């Protein structure tokens, strides 16, 4: 599923590429965004995911960043150029990024500060890459290598992994105490692990995942038909849905859909 944004102008193109089986439990997709002209105030909505992002602006030095989980919509000025990202499933970047989620939430950090020499090497390889396909392979190879070089102990899934995946599959419609129970943890222990892996509390994470699905459903619904969307996405009523949409996106559902 595409990370939700406000609709793109015709001068840009977004694509997704599925990871291989070794990474599918950790990576939702690799994605590209190509802009033939700068875009001001590009809105990105929270979705419970974090990304590694390679930005190659026209005529400028590229950047390789860790983009943490978002608690609210962000507005970004995008340069003309190409963007390549790795979108991790909720909480799964913790297998590749040593910083706790609480230090990356709502942040864009140089990956070199986290990975050191590995990030510098990957940055140069991506910069020299001549095609999107080659760039995706470079990203995928680096992540597979990191998995292969971990110790046996590190290969054991983290206690919260399975239930975070369950929350993702349930589109956020699950009680926090139920998640903690399935993880074999107390509510307090699970909250601490969820914050460690995602930067969000379990309640915030489920809220973001549910909102992501709701944003998709709002696009598919007829204009103003929010009662059914609210019901399908587990909101109390239409007012609750609209208030949550505004709180997380900065827009009402109507404003969001009118931007198409």
Residues 102-123 have pLDDT tens digits of 999 999 999 999 999 999 999 9
Supply the pLDDT for residue 54: 97
Q: What distance in Å separates the CA atoms of residue 67 and residue 69, rounded to the nearest whole number? A: 7
- Residue 25 burial by Cβ neighbours in a 10 Å radius (0-12, 13-18, 19+): middle
Q: Which of 44-48, 138-142, 156-160, 207-211 has the lowest mean pLDDT?
A: 156-160
For residues 17 and 146, membership in a common domain is answered with yes
Supply the pLDDT for residue 16: 95
For residues 191 and 73, membership in a common domain is answered with no
For residues 112 and 133, membership in a common domain is answered with yes
For residues 165 and 148, membership in a common domain is answered with no
The band of 2, judged by pLDDT with boundaries at 50, 70 and 90, is very low
Which of 126, 152, 178 is at the close of a domain?
Answer: 152
Range of the domain at 86: 12-152
Residues 202-231 have pLDDT tens digits of 999 999 999 999 999 999 987 778 999 999
Which tokens is 220 given? 């598919």
- Inside any domain, residue 6: no
For residues 92 and 207, membership in a common domain is answered with no
Q: What distance in Å separates the CA atoms of residue 167 and residue 98, rounded to the nearest whole number? A: 23
Contact 194, 205 (CB under 8 A): yes
- Residue 1: pLDDT above 60? no
DSSP label at 234? T
Please state the domain count of the chain.
2
Q: Is the pTM of this model over 0.95?
A: no
- Residue 136 burial by Cβ neighbours in a 10 Å radius (0-12, 13-18, 19+): buried
Contact 226, 218 (CB under 8 A): yes
Output the average pLDDT for the chain.
90
Strand partners, 44: 5, 74
Which of 152, 185, 220 is at the close of a domain?
Answer: 152
* CATH number of residue 233's parent domain: 1.10.10.60
- Inside any domain, residue 188: yes
For residues 121 and 19, membership in a common domain is answered with yes
For residues 16 and 88, membership in a common domain is answered with yes
Q: Which of 38-42, 89-93, 155-159, 184-188 has the lowest mean pLDDT?
A: 155-159
Which of 133, 152, 171 is at the close of a domain?
Answer: 152
Q: What distance in Å separates the CA atoms of residue 218 and residue 118, rounded to the nearest whole number? A: 41
Residues 148-190 have pLDDT tens digits of 887 544 555 567 788 999 999 999 999 999 999 888 889 999 9
């Amino acid at each position: 599923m595409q990370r939700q944004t406000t609709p793109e102008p015709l001068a840009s193109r977004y694509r997704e590429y599925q990871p291989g089986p070794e990474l599918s439990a950790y990576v939702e997709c690799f994605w590209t965004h190509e802009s033939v002209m700068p875009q001001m105030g590009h809105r990105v909505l929270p979705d419970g995911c974090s990304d590694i992002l390679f930005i190659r602006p026209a005529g400028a030095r590229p950047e390789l960043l860790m983009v943490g989980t978002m608690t609210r919509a962000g507005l970004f000025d995008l340069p003309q150029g190409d963007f390549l990202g790795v979108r991790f499933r909720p909480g799964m970047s913790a297998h590749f990024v040593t910083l706790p989620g609480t230090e990356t939430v709502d942040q864009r950090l140089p990956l070199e500060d986290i990975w050191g020499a590995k990030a510098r090497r990957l940055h140069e390889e991506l910069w020299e890459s001549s095609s999107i396909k080659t760039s995706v392979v470079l990203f995928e190879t680096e992540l597979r290598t990191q998995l292969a070089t971990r110790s046996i102990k590190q290969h054991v899934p983290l206690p919260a992994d399975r239930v975070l995946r369950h929350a993702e599959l349930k589109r956020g419609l699950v009680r926090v105490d139920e998640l903690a129970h399935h993880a074999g943890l107390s509510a307090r222990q699970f909250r601490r692990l969820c914050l460690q892996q995602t930067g969000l509390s379990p309640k915030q994470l489920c809220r973001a995942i549910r909102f992501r699905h709701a944003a998709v459903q709002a696009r598919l619904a007829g204009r103003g038909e929010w009662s059914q969307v609210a019901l399908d996405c587990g909101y109390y009523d239409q007012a609750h849905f609209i208030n949550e949409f505004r709180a997380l996106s900065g827009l009402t559902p109507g404003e969001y859909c009118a931007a198409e």
